[in-house]
Chain A
Amino acid sequence: MNKVRSATRTTIAAHAVLITYTLIALFPVFVIVINSFKDRRAIFRDPLGLPNEETFSLIGYETVLKQGDFFLYFQNSMIVTVVSLTLILLFGAMAAFALAEYRFKGNRLMGLYLALGIMIPIRIGTVAILEMMVSTGLVNTLTALILVYTAQGLPLAVFILSEFMKGVSDDLKNAGRIDGLSEYKIFFRLVLPLVRPAMATVAVFNMIPIWNDLWFPLILAPAEEVKTLTLGSQVFIGQFVTDWNAVLSALSMAILPVMVLYVIFSRQLIRGITSGAVK
């Protein structure tokens, strides 16, 4: 009985810590969301107050939506994030499979070379990247951003996934080979489903920095028709006047798609964990 009781107590304590952390983490988001529904004066007079009849206002959302290009920015961000993630996962997993599965000369060296990218931030190479993009005519295209983000995400993806793929039993792959599967089918049908939790982890790790990035959109794709959401929101932040309603509304809306993507990936995480082991 005592043990049971103390177990309950531990659970309560653990939950208390987690709930506290959640509250702290969610508080800024909460403040952004409530303030996006208030008029300008209310934002400054009582930043922590909930919107009421008097202060409730959709002026921020109206401004953002009237701006017209907001949906375009939204679409740009979505395209860049989803395509980059797909490419990172696809190529990262393929490279990881090759490194984990095949013995060839320079295997270790290649792995080390790919892991180097984890230690060296890609922004150091911004000038060189910009020069390359200019000479290939990719400036002001989404392709430029997708290429950069893919390069940025690959090292960590390869590193994490190859560790996981080494854990997939050799017998399983050999069983596939005897069953007449090509190496591609072994990769897609046997190995990928088994490393799905790792894939979800990699996706979550990469998604948010890409979505939130301001640096590369500003440098590589500042043109109106390829602006991302983060860059697009900057129009409301002026040197002298900032339209806080619009900024907060834009940010509130920018949270949604990331949340949807996150829910999708985290479901994969849980499913992967419960899908059962090899033996």
Chain B
Amino acid sequence: MSGVTLNKVIKRYGDVQVIHGVDLEIADGEFCVFVGPSGCGKSTLLRMVAGLEETTEGAMHIGDRDVTRMDPSQRGVAMVFQTYALYPHMTVKDNMGFGLKMNGHPKSEIEEKVAEATRILKLEPYLDRKPAALSGGQRQRVSIGRAIVRGPEVFLFDEPLSNLDAELRVEMRVEIARLHKEIGATMIYVTHDQVEAMTLADKIVVLRLGVIEQVGAPMDLYRDPDNKFVAGFIGSPAMNFVNGSAKDGAVVAPGLAASYEGMINAAYEGKALSVGARPEHITINPAGDTHTVEMTESLGGVSFAYLAGATGERIVVEERGDVRSEEGAKVGIEIDASRIYLFDAETEMRIRT
């Protein structure tokens, strides 16, 4: 078992650079999630770790071994694909044992390892079926089983749950978390779904346009984002942003109909700011009249109210409890000043106070 280290890793296709010098350290046994919008390079980065894409520049280590120029099979990795990529002409059992068989492992050892993976994933009833006769969730389990059988140092998951329906996705998510606990191997997981990222990860890597925006534990990213992109990406519904400015040492945010004293130093005087507040940290005051409720979405336990302020900026507010606001109503909002996030409007970097 061993960790993964990336050192100034760059990927270019011809003249187009898609990964811009990524430095990353993933500890042994860690569950690391690459997350980001589509086209951010997260899958490319994973495939580079797998060895399916060549690394143009930089170095990559798994444990103490330099794997930068190694073939996929020599790296000690196993990969689970979004499309499952099961061998359609083989039974479940053969699918799992195929890699070992092709590399000349003895039959008894293959049987043993397949049996072990079957036990972990509860695949006993399906061993003699072909992939076509399995449901999506079962296929993905077989695909994970194939990875386990290889006994890799690092597991790679490329959006493994994207092709499953919502219910199965939750089920498989729990299963993958359980698997990580049971096997304890290093895992790298790519997803665009921040719920998967938050629930599974020990460490989240937020990527945008081939650059790491922030690395950290899920709750650290949620509580303490480094920039506007991470703040907006982590959390659902996304954080609200309104324009603001620094005036006489106070932050003025017309969209929130509020100003906050003593939150910013003089250097920002007169500068444009972006003021962020999470939906769950805003409360609605029915007595106020600064905002109009444009629409509400009730999910049962919570509902989301879409408000428009005097500036026309929209704000989403999460409501719980028995009293929920109604469409068309005039309301006010309240936010604890400690829950406000400030960003430089130009650089989008967080302003910490």
Are A and B interaction partners?
A: yes
Chain B, 37-52, CB within 8 A of any chain A CB: 50-52
B103, CB-defined interface residue at 8 Å: yes
Inter-chain residue pair count (beta carbon < 8 A): 82
Residue in B102, B139, B150 with the greatest tally of chain A CB atoms within 10 Å: B102
Partner of B99, one of A179, A193, A194, A279: A179
CB of A240, distance to nearest CB on chain B (Å): 58
CB of A103, distance to nearest CB on chain B (Å): 10
Instruction: Determine the chain B residues whose CB is within 8 A of the CB of A179 once the complex forms.
Output: 73, 98-99, 102-103, 146, 150
User: Size band of the A side of the interface?
Assistant: 20 to 34
A177–B81 alpha-carbon span in the complex (Å)? 13
B116-148 vs A: 1/0 string, CB under 8 Å? 000000000000001111000001000000100
A272: nearest chain-B partner, CB-CB: B89
B163, CB-defined interface residue at 8 Å: yes
A171, CB-defined interface residue at 8 Å: yes
B60-91 vs A: 1/0 string, CB under 8 Å? 00000000000111100111011111111100
Contacting pair B77 A178 (CB below 8 A)? yes
Contacting pair B132 A172 (CB below 8 A)? no
Contacting pair B52 A174 (CB below 8 A)? yes
A180, CB-defined interface residue at 8 Å: yes
A116–B102 alpha-carbon span in the complex (Å)? 38
Contacting pair A275 B82 (CB below 8 A)? no
Instruction: Determine the chain A residues whose CB is within 8 A of the CB of B83 once the complex forms.
Output: 169, 171, 278-279
A137, CB-defined interface residue at 8 Å: no
A175–B150 alpha-carbon span in the complex (Å)? 12
* Number of residues of chain B lying within 8 A (CB) of chain A: 31
Contacting pair A276 B85 (CB below 8 A)? no
Partner of B72, one of A169, A177, A193, A279: A177
CB of B91, distance to nearest CB on chain A (Å): 11
Contacting pair B88 A275 (CB below 8 A)? yes
Instruction: Determine the chain B residues whose CB is within 8 A of the CB of A180 once the complex forms.
Output: 72-74, 99, 102-103
A135-177 vs B: 1/0 string, CB under 8 Å? 0000000000000000000000000000000000101101111
B78: nearest chain-A partner, CB-CB: A178
Q: Which 7 residue pairs of A and B lie closest in terms of their CB atoms, listed nearest first?
A: A276-B132, A179-B99, A180-B73, A171-B85, A175-B85, A171-B81, A193-B89
Give residues in B with beta carbon < 8 Å to A.
50-52, 71-74, 77-79, 81-89, 98-99, 102-103, 130-133, 139, 146, 150, 163
A-B contact pairs, 19 of them (CB 8 A): A171-B81, A171-B84, A172-B86, A174-B50, A174-B85, A177-B71, A178-B79, A179-B99, A179-B102, A179-B146, A180-B74, A181-B73, A189-B98, A193-B89, A194-B88, A275-B88, A275-B132, A276-B131, A279-B84
**4 new A-B contacts at CB < 8 Å, known A179-B102, A180-B73:** A171-B85, A174-B72, A177-B72, A190-B87
Give residues in A with beta carbon < 8 Å to B.
169, 171-172, 174-181, 185, 189-190, 193-194, 275-279
